[in-house]
């Protein structure tokens, strides 16, 4: 692995693309959104400016996702629509990167020959170099199996001025049987604590108030670094180091794995004043039979034990989870077990997914046990209905309470409201009068839906 990228290693003497405009369109998770900020950083280093729309763009980067089948379908649908965009101006460049590009490689240009560059997840920092090469020699695909450089080696242009992603780890060493992530993102690699703290400090200097630590399995952070000769995770210590960064208001992290959650991390979340009292504990299924088939490494009982420990340790903790409905072999009885855990856990929010077979995963070979679409749809609706009620009750607990709100942006629908998040991670809307982006305000919650809160300044 290279220690840092050589930003000026273009193979020809061309100054830059100043005067040209770029646009980055992102599908998928927070890791992808953050990678897109790095792509934007590299493009701006090359002299380009962000376009306000696709129409204005000379260079378009599509950052793809492949976690579920419909993400793949969306990509090829989008590329189909972009054929027209490309044909309108022969100087336009269409670049495709991210997880679906890593998986499909040459297939991307077989299905959409108008694409100029296909780049994988392991060499993202080479994007400008590949763009240059495509201009000189024609369309190019560069998808490699080994990590060449970390995206974090590249400069970044953040979407939000006040809340920033901070990658602490890339890849994943687990082997959940439904998940394609290890095959497209590679094995777990942790960044050095000093690099992370330095990046956090630089972010604060540029106006950031809140950071969200990103990794596929954050509680195993540091195992590979052998800090002080030990292969123990260093996540709790990292939280403590970041809590000391002056000027930082709030720290969040995602995603942890229930099997790797340590009691000391829960204590640190409660005790460290800047770490938000919010835990995402991805359950996936409540049935022990299905959890075993998923290779999740815990049982329903162990999961509930950890969740209850989180509730007992962290004051007014906000809990969220992920559920996959319709994993191969899931019976009505298995699904009832999931509903039982959902009712008992009282999550603030549940991210729900319908099982989607992914190529190369073990679950993809369980086709004898695949569940009918209609059954999955009806279970999904039932889960949604039950959780919406629970979320509403959970959100209503805030009415009349005072909370610290970090104002992040104008609300999507109207300029008369702004929105941000409180400590528990819930979205809050507030009248925009006398409020600015970046304010860290004391507010009183006055209204709750199952998905958001409304507040007034106190
Ligand atoms: N099908 C459905 N959902 C999936 N997830 C991951 N892989 C699949 C799949 N093949 C969900 C899991 C994970 C979240 C990020 O996406 O719930 O926690
Ligand atoms: Fe996928 Fe499991 Fe790794 Fe999460 S922990 S990225 S679900 S393999």
Q: Which atom of ligand 2 is nearest to the CA of 172?
A: 3
- Write down the pLDDT at residue 12: 43
Output the six-digit token pair for 90: 């022969």
pLDDT tens profile 188-246: 999 999 999 999 999 999 999 999 999 999 999 999 999 989 999 999 999 999 999 99
402-457: CATH architecture: Beta Barrel (2.40)
All structural domains of the chain with their residue ranges: 4-142, 160-276, 286-298+309-397, 402-457
pLDDT tens profile 438-454: 999 999 999 999 999 99
- Write down the pLDDT at residue 412: 82
pLDDT tens profile 346-399: 999 999 999 999 999 999 999 999 999 999 999 999 999 999 999 999 999 999
Indicate the length of the chain as a whole number. 458
Q: Which atom of ligand 1 is nearest to the CA of 323?
A: 17
pLDDT, mean over the chain: 94
Please answer whether residues 169 and 221 qualify as being in contact, where contact means their C-beta atoms are separated by less than 8 angstroms: yes
Protein residue with its CA nearest to atom 6 in ligand 1: 179
With a cut of 50, list the residues of the chain below it in pLDDT. Answer: 1-13
278 touches ligand 1 (CB under 6 Å): no
Q: Which atom of ligand 1 is nearest to the CA of 356?
A: 1
**Ligand 2 centre and the CA of 258: distance in Å?**
11
179 touches ligand 1 (CB under 6 Å): yes
CA distance 146 to 143: 9
- Write down the pLDDT at residue 315: 96
CA distance 246 to 249: 9
Domains 160-276 and 286-298+309-397 share a fold: yes
182 touches ligand 2 (CB under 6 Å): yes
- Write down the pLDDT at residue 80: 96
- Write down the pLDDT at residue 14: 52
Q: Which atom of ligand 2 is nearest to the CA of 296?
A: 2
Question: Which of 28, 68, 254, 362 gets mutated to test ligand 1 (max ligand atoms within 8 A of its CB)?
Answer: 68
- From the CA of 183, which ligand is nearest? 2
Q: For the chain, how big is the Rg over CA atoms in Å?
A: 23
Q: What percent of the chain has pLDDT over 90?
A: 90
**Ligand 2 centre and the CA of 195: distance in Å?**
25
C-alpha distances in angstroms, 322 versus 49, 153, 258, 381? 37, 30, 11, 15
- Write down the pLDDT at residue 1: 37
Protein residue with its CA nearest to atom 13 in ligand 1: 322
Q: Which CATH number, 1.10.4030.10, 3.40.50.280, 2.20.70.10, 3.30.43.10, labels domain 4-142? A: 3.40.50.280
Burial class (CB in 10 A: 0-12, 13-18, 19+), 400: exposed
CATH class of 160-276: alpha beta
Please answer whether residues 102 and 121 qualify as being in contact, where contact means their C-beta atoms are separated by less than 8 angstroms: yes
99 touches ligand 2 (CB under 6 Å): no
CATH of domain 286-298+309-397: 3.30.750.200
- Write down the pLDDT at residue 254: 95
């Amino acid at each position: 692995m290279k220690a840092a990228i050589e930003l000026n290693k273009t193979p020809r003497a061309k100054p830059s693309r100043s005067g040209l405009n770029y646009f980055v369109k992102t599908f998928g998770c927070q890791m992808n959104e953050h990678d897109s900020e790095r792509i934007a950083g590299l493009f701006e280093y090359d002299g380009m400016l962000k376009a306000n729309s696709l129409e204005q763009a000379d260079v378009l980067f599509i950052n793809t996702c492949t976690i579920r089948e419909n993400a793949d379908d969306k990509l090829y649908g989008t590329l189909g629509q972009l054929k027209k965009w490309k044909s309108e101006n022969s100087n336009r460049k269409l670049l495709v990167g991210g997880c679906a590009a890593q998986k499909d490689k040459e297939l991307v240009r077989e299905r959409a020959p108008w694409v100029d560059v296909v780049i994988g997840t392991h060499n993202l920092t080479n994007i400008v170099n590949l763009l240059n090469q495509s201009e000189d020699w024609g369309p190019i695909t560069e998808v490699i199996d080994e990590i060449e450089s970390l995206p974090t080696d590249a400069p970044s242009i953040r979407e939000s001025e006040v809340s920033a992603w901070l990658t602490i780890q890339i890849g994943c060493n687990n082997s959940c049987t439904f998940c394609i992530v290890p095959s497209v993102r590679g094995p777990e690699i942790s960044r050095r604590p000093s690099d992370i703290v330095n990046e956090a400090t630089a972010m604060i200097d540029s106006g950031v108030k809140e950071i969200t630590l990103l990794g596929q399995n954050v509680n195993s952070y540091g195992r590979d670094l052998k800090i002080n000769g030990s292969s123990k995770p260093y996540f709790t210590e990292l939280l403590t180091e970041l809590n000391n960064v002056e000027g930082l208001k709030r720290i969040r992290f995602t995603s942890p794995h229930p099997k790797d959650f340590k009691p000391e991390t829960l204590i640190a979340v409660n005790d460290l004043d800047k770490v938000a009292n919010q835990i995402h504990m991805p359950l996936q299924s409540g049935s022990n039979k299905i959890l075993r088939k998923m290779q999740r490494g815990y049982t329903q009982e162990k999961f509930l034990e950890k969740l209850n420990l989180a509730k007992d340790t962290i004051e007014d903790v906000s809990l969220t989870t992920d559920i996959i409905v319709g994993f191969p072999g899931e019976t009505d009885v298995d699904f009832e077990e999931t509903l039982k855990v959902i009712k008992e856990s009282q999550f603030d929010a549940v991210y729900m997914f319908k099982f989607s077979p992914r190529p190369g995963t073990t679950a993809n070979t369980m086709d004898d046990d695949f569940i009918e679409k209609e059954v999955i749809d009806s279970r999904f609706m039932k889960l949604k209905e039950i959780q919406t009620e629970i979320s509403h009750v959970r959100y209503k607990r805030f009415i009349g309470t005072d909370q610290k709100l970090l104002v992040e942006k104008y609300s999507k629908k109207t300029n008369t409201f702004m929105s941000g998040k409180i400590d528990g991670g819930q979205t809050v809307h507030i009248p925009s009068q006398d409020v600015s982006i970046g304010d860290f305000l004391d507010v009183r919650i006055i209204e709750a839906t199952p998905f958001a809160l409304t507040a007034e300044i106190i």
